[in-house]
Amino acid sequence: MSKGKLQKFAEMEHFENVLQPNIKQYTEQDFPNKGKWRQIMGTSGKIILELGCGKGEYTIGLAQKYPQHGFIGIDIKGARIYTGAKKALELGLKNVLFIRTKIDFLKTFFADSEVNEIWLTFPDPQRKKQRRRLLNAKFLNIYRDILADDGLLHLKTDNPNLYQYTMKMAQYNDIEIITSTDDLYSSSLEGDAKDIKTYYEKMFLEQGKKINYIELKLNKNKEYKEIPEKFTWKKTSKYA
Ligand SMILES: C[S@@+](CC[C@H](N)C(=O)[O-])C[C@H]1O[C@@H](n2cnc3c(N)ncnc32)[C@H](O)[C@@H]1O
């Protein structure tokens, strides 16, 4: 590990807005803050997560815009979280936390219905490893459990295959599609989806890629299943 990274990690140990739980301990055992996030963040508003938050542009941007709500960025990579957490501290944002952990273990961190919205910002598409794709049935069921009734799931992606896969999953599972567009910045949509751009998003836009966006309303009473037919990942110049 580089000296710079080691220094950042050492500094981050003292950040009051970063939690770095022992990953082995909290794969199955509940994290002590589970069910108490509102109390811990001093809010009676919503709890909103950014998953695979990287440097946390949504966590920070939304926290500035909506000070009445609590925002938690989650990522496994410490160096990326460091950047977001340091910025949040510099901005004096009291409604921001970062957790360094795997999205796979969300249910050990959040109680049933404790979360109001989830933002998935440019997740790795996982073309070959569907079991790790953050929009597969296993993950949708995890999100459904921690989300409150009518909880919202937002996805931003540059990847048309991941967009199509998610649309198919939503249609097959009767998930309400509130909004969907395969070209966000040419659409008439306004608001949070357009107002904040992440680190990866800026890179994709510079490469001339279109940004896809979907907003879904998950239903607590549904068991989500994988689409029965094999999803074919297209390989054209448009499809990365
Ligand atoms: C392509 S980057 C996007 C980062 C950021 N959201 C952005 O748009 O700039 C994907 C991020 O997801 C994180 N990630 C991928 N799978 C994860 C998992 N299972 N648990 C936690 N983080 C994960 C990676 O560490 C990485 O930071």
Annotated catalytic, 124? yes
Q: Can you list the domains of the chain with their CATH numbers?
A: 23-217 (3.40.50.150)
Residue identifier of the C-alpha nearest atom 16 of ligand 1: 52
Instruction: Sort strands 212-217 and 47-51 into parallel, antiparallel or unpaired.
Output: unpaired
Which atom belonging to ligand 1 lies closest to the Cα atom of 156? 8
Give tens-digit pLDDT for 38-94. Answer: 999 999 999 999 999 999 999 999 999 999 999 999 999 999 999 999 999 999 999
| E strands present in the chain | 18-19, 47-51, 70-75, 96-100, 115-121, 147-157, 176-181, 212-217
**Ligand 1 center from residue 71 Cα (angstroms):** 16
**Which position has the token pair 């953050």?**
134
Residue with the smallest CA separation from ligand 1 atom 3 is 122
pLDDT at position 239 over 80: no
- Ligand 1 centroid to 74 CA: how many Å? 8
**Which pLDDT score, from 0 to 100, does residue 185 have?**
98
Q: Residue written as tokens 């992606």?
A: 157
The candidate with the shortest Cα–Cα distance to 163, out of 150, 177, 143, is: 177
What global pTM score does this model have? Answer: 0.96
Using one digit for the tens of pLDDT, what is the confidence trace for 91-122? 999 999 999 999 999 999 999 999 999 999 99
Mean predicted confidence (pLDDT) in 204-225: 97
- Catalytic one of 124, 150, 158, 174: 124
Q: Find, among 154, 85, 88, 81, the residue nearest to 116 by Cα.
A: 154
Predicted local distance difference test score (pLDDT) of residue 237: 57
The answer to whether the CB of 155 falls within 8 A of the CB of 120 is yes
Give the pLDDT score at 62: 98
Model confidence at 15, pLDDT cuts 50, 70, 90, reads very high
Q: Could you tell me how many residues make up the chain?
A: 240
Distance CA 104, CA 76 (A): 10
Q: Residue 14 and residue 40: Cα distance in Å, rounded?
A: 18
Mean pLDDT over the full length of the chain = 95
Q: What are the helix (H) ranges across 116-157?
A: 137-146
CA distance 23 to 8: 19
Closest atom of ligand 1 to CA, residue 121: 6
Residues near 144 by Cβ (< 8 Å), separated by ≥ 6? Answer: 151, 218, 219, 220, 222, 224
- Kindly give the distance from the C-alpha atom of residue 52 to the centroid of ligand 1, in angstroms, as a whole number: 3
Nearest ligand 1 atom, CA 52: 12
pLDDT per residue over 124-134, tens digit each?
999 999 999 99
Ligand 1 neighbours, Cβ below 6 Å, are 52-54, 75-77, 80, 102-104, 121-124, 198-201
